Amino acid sequence: FDCSGLALYAWAQQGVYLPHYSGYQYNYSTKVSKNNLQPGDLVFYAYNTSNPATIHHVAIYMGNGQMVEAPQSGSVVKISPMRWSGYIGATRPGV
C-alpha cells in the first residue's frame, strides 16, 4: 500500500468510497478538529501546513496517540505514534 491506498482500502471495507490521492481525500470528507479526533479519522500531513495543496501523506488515527500508516509505497503498514509536525488537519469519511 501507499498511504492513500491504505486509507482508500480501509474505508472501502465500510462501504465508503475515497479517491486514491491524499490531497483529494482531504477535500472529499468532512473536516474534524484536532480536539474531536476519533479512531478511523484520516489525518493529513503537508509540507506547508497553511496550504492544503502541499499535502503529501495521510494516515488513519487509532486513538491513544497512535495512527496506522503506510509510510511510502513498498514499505510495511505499521502502527506509529501520532505525529503533529506537518499536521494540516483531519477528516471523517462517510459523514
Angle 56-25-61 (CA atoms, 0-180°, nearest 5)? Answer: 80
* 28 CB burial (10 A radius; 0-12, 13-18, 19+): middle
CA distance readout (Å), 28 to 58, 78, 82, 87: 13, 25, 22, 17
Active site (annotated) includes residue 66: no
Active site (annotated) includes residue 69: yes
What's the whole-model pTM score? 0.94
Catalytic residue among 1, 2, 3, 25: 3
pLDDT digits (tens, 9 = 90+) for 54-89: 999 999 999 999 999 998 767 789 999 999 999 999
| Chain CA centroid to CA 35, Å | 16
Catalytic residue among 11, 69, 70, 90: 69
Catalytic residue among 11, 57, 59, 60: 57
pLDDT digits (tens, 9 = 90+) for 19-50: 989 999 999 999 999 999 999 999 999 999 99
Active site (annotated) includes residue 20: no
Instruction: Confirm if 26 and 89 have CB atoms less than 8 A apart.
Output: yes
